[in-house]
Amino acid sequence: MPRPRPTLAAAATLLLGIAAHATELNFDHYHAISPAAYGDRVTDFSLGYGNAGGATPNVVLDFVASRGAFSVYATGYAGLQSALGHSSYDVPGLIRLTPDAGFDVVLQGFDIAAWSSGSYPNSRIRVVDAAGTPLVDSGVFTFGPNAVQRLPAAPIRSSLGLEILVSDFGDLGVDNLVFGQAATVPDAPAAPMMLAGLGPLGAKRARKSAGAGHLPQRRQGAGQRQQRSSNPQASHPRSPGSAEPPRGAWAWVAASLPSASATPATRAAGCAWIEPPMGRSTLWACGEVRAGSV
């Protein structure tokens, strides 16, 4: 027998990693708990909430009807038991799910059904985020008798919050609302930006560490410069024609060679050929070499 293929919803659930925390509202205790607090920060499943994978202490719900108040009907909405409906027909309303900062709310699904055996034209069911971005939109349609639909087709996750909008509560009722929470994950493009921001900081720290033990030397006094002029080779352990001058320091190296004879190492170290005052020997001025510049 071939193995069953995973559904779109199951695949999306795996991708979102949302199985850790989820609560199911079956509205059995909607009025007993108080509509104002129903579904808020669920941690105690003894209050009649369904445990669909864990508590949701960082999500708050609001139930808003455009007129009057919602009611719960034990039967009447097709096969749903204790569905959230309204005593009047054609009442626009919404269910709002708001996560705390640093958390996402994940709408896994809800059942929606028509009242009794009637058909209800001009029905419309939508899911939007708190910014009003449409995520699910059934469009205007006729909801048939005794029909139950499960929406959305795949879980929806948002750090802004979500709203389930029903154009005609009373005609339609909602039940078995399953939602979860998860820690907010930075957007994928943000990771390279964070690394890029750390790069200059790391380079700055490396330069600071490299220069800590090589503070600029103070220039020699006039008498000492005169002594170095008379004994060029003794003025510095390395002359311009031998090896690369020391990094991370100022070095004055006496020489009588023309600038064209500078070695690659001397040029790479940032040394410049200068002409001192009249009567002084020609000098190399070697500037500070920063990490990564050669």
pLDDT of residue 204: 55
pLDDT of residue 33: 86
pLDDT digits (tens, 9 = 90+) for 215-270: 444 444 444 444 444 444 444 444 444 444 444 333 333 333 344 444 444 444 44
- Euclidean distance between CA atoms 222 and 237, whole angstroms: 20
- Euclidean distance between CA atoms 125 and 144, whole angstroms: 14
Residue among 87, 137, 151 nearest 115 (CA):
87
Longest dimension (CA), the chain: 113
pTM above 0.85, yes or no: no
Q: Which residues contact 128 (CB under 8 A, 6 or more apart)?
A: 134, 135, 162, 163, 165
pLDDT of residue 202: 53
pLDDT of residue 52: 86
Q: Which residues of the chain have pLDDT under 70?
A: 1-20, 187-294
Contacts by 184-192, CB closer than 8 A, 24 or more apart: 184/102, 184/103, 184/104, 184/159, 185/104
pLDDT of residue 192: 53
Query: Is 28 buried (19+), middle (13-18) or exposed (0-12) by CB count in 10 A?
Result: middle
